Amino acid sequence: MPIQRLIIILLYIFCLVRLIIVGASFFDQLGCEGQFINVNLNPAGQQQIWGDQVIGQSFIAPWPNLNRVDILLQTYGRHNTHYVTMRLLEFSPNSDHLEDALERFKSTFNAATVTDQEWRTFFFPAITNSAGKTFVVVLQSPESEPGNAITVGGIDKDVYPGSAFLGSTPIPADITFRACFQMTGLEKSHAFFEQITHSRPLLWGNTFFYVLCSGIYSLLLIGFFWRLTKLTW
Partner 1 sequence: MFSKISTSQSKTCLSILFFILALTLVRGIIYAAVISPWQAPDEPAQFERAKAALKTEDWNSTAPTPPAWYADLRDSLLTHHFLSYTLIRAQNDPEASLNHYIDLYHEVYGGTYGTRFTYAVIGAPLILAQYQDITLQLYLVRLGTVLMNVAIIFLAYLTVSTIFPNSDFLVLGVPLLIMFNPQHTYNLSTVNNGNLAELLATAALYFIARGLKQNLSLPNFGLALAFAWIAMWTKATAYFLFFTFGGVASFFLWRYRRHWHWLFLVLVLLSGLIYFLAPQRLSLLFSQVWPLLSQKQFYFNPQITSDIFKSFWAMPGWAILRLNSVWYQAWLIVCILSVGGGIALLIQRRRLLFSEQFQPQVHTLLVFALSIGVAIGIQVGWHVLTGTTLYRQGRSLFPVIVPIVIFLMLGWRQLIPVVWQKPGLLAITINLFLFDSMVLFNYIIPFFYSRY
What residues line the site for partner 1 (CB under 8 A)?
Answer: 1, 4, 7-8, 11-12, 14-15, 18-19, 22-23, 25-26, 29-30, 32-39, 41, 62-63, 117-118, 155, 157, 159-161, 178, 191-192, 195-196, 199-202, 204, 209-210, 213-214, 216-217, 220-221, 223-225, 227-232
Residues 6+ away with beta carbon under 8 Å from 99:
168
Question: Which CB sits closer to partner 1, 6 or 102?
Answer: 6
Instruction: Please give the distance of CA 121 from its chain centroid, rounded to a whole number.
Output: 8
- The CB-of-145 to partner 1 minimum distance in angstroms stands at 27
C-alpha to C-alpha distance for 55 and 97, rounded to whole angstroms: 14
Q: How far apart are CA 176 and CA 32, in angstroms?
A: 13
Distance of CA 143 to the CA centre of its chain: 27
**β-pair type (83-90, 102-110):** antiparallel
**Smaller CB separation from partner 1, 14 or 123:** 14
What minimum distance in Å lies between the beta carbon of 97 and partner 1? 25
Q: Judged by CB, which is closer to partner 1: 78, or 200?
A: 200
Nearer to partner 1, 103 or 116 (CB): 116
Q: How far apart are CA 140 and CA 45, in angstroms?
A: 15
Q: Least CB distance from residue 208 to partner 1, whole Å?
A: 12
Query: Minimum CB separation from partner 1 for residue 119, in Å?
Result: 9
Instruction: Supply the DSSP string of 108-134, one letter for each residue.
Output: EEEGGGPPTTEEEEEEEEEETT-TT-E
Residue with smaller CB distance to partner 1, 50 or 59: 59
